[in-house]
Amino acid sequence: MGIRIVLVDDHQLIREGMKALLAAQPDMQVVGEAEDGMNAIRVCRDTRPDVVVMDVALPGFNGIEATREIVQASSQTKVLALTMHSKGQFVRQMLKAGAAGYLLKGCDFTEILHAIRTVSANKGYICTHLANSVIFDLIQNPDAGSELDLLTSRERQILQLIAEGKRSKEIADELLVSVKTIETYRTQIMKKLKIDSIAGLTRFALAQGLMIDKE
């Protein structure tokens, strides 16, 4: 039985391209796909993959938070980030969330295959273009991102939605809770982070890699 893979990316064209390439590998099988973090969690729960190839920039519930949930639910599932974002805070947050590897979308397909096989064998993998800079960043900034750890997973999710410009009613409808609940969460988030404006929350979310400015 081959390596069971789930593909997570909000661009269908990328998912379709990856599926076509992986289909040619006799030891790999794509068993599911998702366009956002919440659906990724559901698909992984239903299919129990060996490897999840995960983008970082996802709407609503980003790849960092989805990785954290997936890894907590099943230690047998390995997450391999495949993204265009090379900044240290994104790499750090993905690895901290439990990702077994981190790749850039510009890398060769042969490296993607090697990384999938590596993480499925319970080993870590960092893109060759990133390896030295990641090690340097971890040495220089061992405690970076600690403020984000003050928030629960739900608070991080709501922070991302707020930073994406969604209003309390929109967030409440999406998460199936009351507007009052969302406003309570927002107050708690601001208090924990000592931030007193939505603009400040947005800047914090971007700086921490909780959401990604795709512009």
**What's the confidence (pLDDT) of residue 39?**
95
Among 115, 140, 165, the domain-final residue is 140
* Whether residue 124 sits in one domain with residue 154: no
Cβ atoms of residues 130 and 83 within 8 Å = no
Give the bridge partners for 83, in sequence order.
104
Q: What is the dihedral of CA 96, 38, 61, 172, to 10 degrees?
A: -130
Question: Which CATH number goes with the domain that contains 45?
Answer: 3.40.50.2300
Give the pLDDT mean for 121-140: 77
| Domain count within the chain | 2
Residues linked to residue 52 through DSSP beta bridges, in sequence order: 6, 79
Are 165 and 76 contained in the same domain?
A: no
Task: Specify if 213 maps to a domain.
Answer: no
Q: Are 86 and 80 in contact (CB under 8 A)?
A: no
Cα radius of gyration (the chain):
17
pLDDT in tens, 140-179: 665 555 677 889 889 988 999 999 899 999 999 989 999 9
- List pLDDT tens digits, range 94-122: 888 999 999 999 899 999 999 999 999 99
Q: Are 103 and 55 in contact (CB under 8 A)?
A: no
Please identify which residue in the block is written with the tokens 């390596």.
3
Q: What is the DSSP letter of 148?
A: G
pLDDT at 34 over 50: yes
Same domain, 100 and 167: no
**103 and 55 belong to one structural domain:** yes
Run of H or E including 81: strand 78-83
First to last CA, the chain: 41
Q: What does the DSSP assignment read for 102-144?
A: EEETTS-HHHHHHHHHHHHTT--EE-TTTHHHHHHHHHH-TTT
Tell me whether residue 203 is in a domain. Answer: yes
Residue 215 domain-assigned (yes or no): no
d(Cα 10, Cα 31) in Å, to the nearest integer? 17
Q: Are residues 23 and 64 in the same domain?
A: yes
Question: pTM for this structure?
Answer: 0.81
Q: Which domain holds residue 190?
A: 146-208
